[in-house]
């Protein structure tokens, strides 16, 4: 199963693609590690964002997208724009999209024998949370 972990920060979707096959994890090299929504008001940039993301998922044969849940209220509340991006991703056709909580991710990580870092897997440091989201989800699904 190939999964794309997503962390939404401001106007960006930071991604990390990971696959679990025959009990081994694989992190393919992909052409993009984040997507930005440059214009939050108009429809055309949002559709382009959605189309570009979908194309990457198709090209790398991703079956499931898992988005790390963000706070809706309070001091650490996420930006309204990130919820707009989340909605655009949730409406993608032919992809299974889940929003998963930090508790779900932590539970998956606790089941792992070893938790890798993004840098160990050849990813950028800023992709750490997206990678952990995908890793935690895969661990939950494999148990």
Whole-number Å distance between alpha carbons of 95 and 50? 12
Identify the residue whose tokens are 């559709």.
47
Contacts for 40 with CB less than 8 Å, ≥ 6 apart: 11, 46, 81, 84
Measure Cα distances from 134 to 40, 73, 75, 77, 130 in Å. 27, 25, 26, 22, 6
Q: What is the pLDDT of residue 143?
A: 74
d(CA 3, CA 65): 6
Q: What is the pLDDT of residue 139?
A: 93
Half-sphere exposure for 104 (CA within 13 Å, toward CB): 15
pLDDT tens track for 6-54: 999 989 999 999 998 888 889 999 999 999 998 889 999 999 999 999 9
Structure token pair of residue 100: 């998963």
φ/ψ of residue 121, rounded to 5: -90, 5
Q: Give mean pLDDT, residues 74-79.
A: 72
What's the CA gap between 66 and 5, in Å, rounded?
5
Taking each helix axis as running N to C, give the angle between helix 80-90 and helix 43-59, from 0 to 180 degrees, rounded to the nearest 10.
50
| Domains annotated on the chain, with CATH | 2-142 (3.30.420.10)
Residue 74 clears pLDDT 80, i.e. is over it: no
pLDDT the model gives residue 77? 67
């Amino acid at each position: 199963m190939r999964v794309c972990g997503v962390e939404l920060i401001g106007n960006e979707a930071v991604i990390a693609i990971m696959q679990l096959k025959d009990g081994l994890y694989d992190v393919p090299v992909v052409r993009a590690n984040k997507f930005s929504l440059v214009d939050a008001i108009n429809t055309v940039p949002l559709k382009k964002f959605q189309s570009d993301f979908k194309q990457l998922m198709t090209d790398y044969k991703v079956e499931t997208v898992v988005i790390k849940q963000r706070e809706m209220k309070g001091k650490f509340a996420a930006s309204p724009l990130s919820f707009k991006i989340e909605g655009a991703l949730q409406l993608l056709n032919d992809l299974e999209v889940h929003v998963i909580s930090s508790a779900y991710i932590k539970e998956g990580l606790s089941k792992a024998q070893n938790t890798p870092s993004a840098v160990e897997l050849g990813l950028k440091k800023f992709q750490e949370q997206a990678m952990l989201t995908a890793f935690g989800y895969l661990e939950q699904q494999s148990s």
